[in-house]
Structure 1
Amino acid sequence: MGELSAYGQLLRAQARAQASYRASFGIDLFVSMLALGFDVLSVIVLYQVTPDLGGFNLREAMVITGITAAAFATADAGIGSVERLRVLVRTGQLDALLLRPLPALPQLVLTELSLRKLSRVLFGVVVLAVAVAAAPIQWTPARAALIVLAPTAGAVFFGAVFVATASVSFWWVESGEVGNAFTYGGRDLAIYPVTAYQGWFRRIFCYGLGFATVAYYPALALLDRPDPLGAPAWLGWVSPLVAAVAVGVAALVWRAGIRHYRSTGS
């Protein structure tokens, strides 16, 4: 209970600080939402050029985009601030977190939390709701559960990617662009059907790293479509398992990084 109270105080302090200037906070919320809006708009614009992408029409593709948008926005709002780790390592500010009687990762997330990103979560959920309403989905109890399960598991997966890539800063401080390639790059990959990619790129990133399970396979299960690439239908339900594996890997990388870290001495 003491830890929960401490975390609550950190969260309240961040909320008060960021909402002190209401006009600025409101603008930040709007601009943050626009960033995700442009990602969704890029998919719509692409379909103005071609009515079919990888065997999927716009309504079907938007289900994939909606799941990805909701999942990534939730992960980014909840734990995306872990990207600031490289700054804390370089300046020595991480030492202050490690000296406190609380785990470092929750402290880092809460002290660097950006509340303006909450508008992206709302926008992502709206995009998903509109997409599934427009798509030809025959609703069953299982699919109703999947529409909640898929973006939730996707958020956990992206959160694990944020932690794992940020942890590289313990060994390589200026690793930010490498991390962005897997976090924001992974989001950009996942908003399109996997069939739009080919060769080694699809094998490594979509299958090897698990990005195909974030939205593509759950969308196939929702749409009751067989995979054009021949994968079994049960892959539409494995996203929680993949997310759990990703969390395990991220935890191992984080713990190894913490053990490797040496104070700057400042």
Structure 2
Amino acid sequence: MADPYVRLLVAQVRSQTQYRLSFALDLAFSTVLTSLDLVTLWVLFTVNGDLGGFGGEDVLLMAGIAACAFPVADLAVGNTEKLRVYVRSGLFDAVLLRPLSALGQLVVMDFAPRRVGRVLQGTAVYVAALVISPVQWSPPVVVLAVVAPLAGAVFFGAIFVAGATVAFWWIDSGEMSNAFTYGGKDVSAYPATVFGGLFRRVFVYGLGFAFVSYLPALAMLGRSDPLGTPDWLRWCSPLTSLVFAVAAGLFWRTGVRHYRSTGS
């Protein structure tokens, strides 16, 4: 069953890499733009000696996890955000007619290989953060260091899919979805302590973004959450990501079942 998806994926990559100079420029600019997040952190630390009670090395680890996790999710399923275009134009009808998974088709139909540069850069930032930050190494921390960015990628992937699914009911939901995907990426790069009470409770903790990088970073650093979160929650990012992935999958199936063709 994987063969049709591989063929679609290969065809998509070939079409985008046919014009090599254009592809190289897209890859370069896509990679450079990712560096702006780190520049923002540097500017903030030139003004303040710390962020929410955390030093530069600690925040670099949090930003590194987010910088590694989000591009992987964006590469894998970020193009599902084009679902609203397919629903509006009726192209999603053709997707449903094929004897393949609708979600699988969306993933490979608009696969963007230029995003690979972001993954490589994000991984490099994360590795550098692990070296520079005062990580309290132990066997559980080694496992968490490997699993945390992968769990974060699953979490962001679930947010991408859930945000795209809203288009089945609300076509012009793109900006709202971006607030949770790209906005969530920015929130995840900072300590939860820098945000205000209501926003922190609802968005950072309530929607799970604290589990992407903030809490795993605290576990790696051997620090408790200054906000009083139980220490065992620092290790729960894989479980949280799994819960969100299952919820997103159920939401997607509900959206597909309620889809009505443009001809109806």
Classify the TM-score, shorter chain.
over 0.9
Shift of 1:198: 1.8
State the match for 2:156 in structure 1.
158
Q: Distance in 2 between matches of 1:134 and 1:16?
A: 39
State the match for 2:116 in structure 1.
118
Q: Which amino acid aligns with 1:17?
A: S
What is the TM-score with the length of structure 2 in the denominator? 0.98
Deviation string, structure 1 residues 18-49 (Cα, Å, up to 9, x no partner): 11011111111111112211112111111111
In the alignment, is residue 193 of structure 1 matched against residue 156 of structure 2? no
State the match for 2:261 in structure 1.
263
Q: Which amino acid aligns with 1:122?
A: L
Q: Distance in 1 between matches of 2:51 and 2:37?
A: 16
Q: Distance in 1 between matches of 2:130 and 2:223?
A: 14
Q: Distance in 1 between matches of 2:120 and 2:83?
A: 26
State the match for 1:30 in structure 2.
28
Aligned residue pairs total 264
Shift of 1:138: 2.7
Question: Structure 2 stretches of 5 or more lacking a match?
Answer: none
Q: Which amino acid aligns with 1:115?
A: P
Q: Distance in 1 between matches of 2:210 and 2:161?
A: 19
Shift of 1:248: 1.4
Shift of 1:265: 2.2
State the match for 2:18 in structure 1.
20
Secondary structure of 2:170's match? Answer: coil
Secondary structure of 1:228's match? Answer: coil
Alignment partner of 1:127 out of 125, 128, 132: 125
| 4+ residue runs over 2 A deviation | none
Question: Structure 1 stretches of 5 or more lacking a match?
Answer: none
Deviation string, structure 1 residues 144-183 (Cα, Å, up to 9, x no partner): 1111100000000000000001100000001000000000
Secondary structure of 2:59's match? Answer: helix
State the match for 1:169 in structure 2.
167
Secondary structure of 1:265's match? Answer: coil
Question: How do 1:1-266 and structure 2 match up within 5 A?
Answer: 3-265=1-263
Q: Distance in 2 between matches of 1:220 and 1:107?
A: 38
Report % sequence identity.
Answer: 53
Q: Distance in 1 between matches of 2:22 and 2:234?
A: 42
Q: Which amino acid aligns with 1:110?
A: V
Secondary structure of 1:81's match? Answer: helix
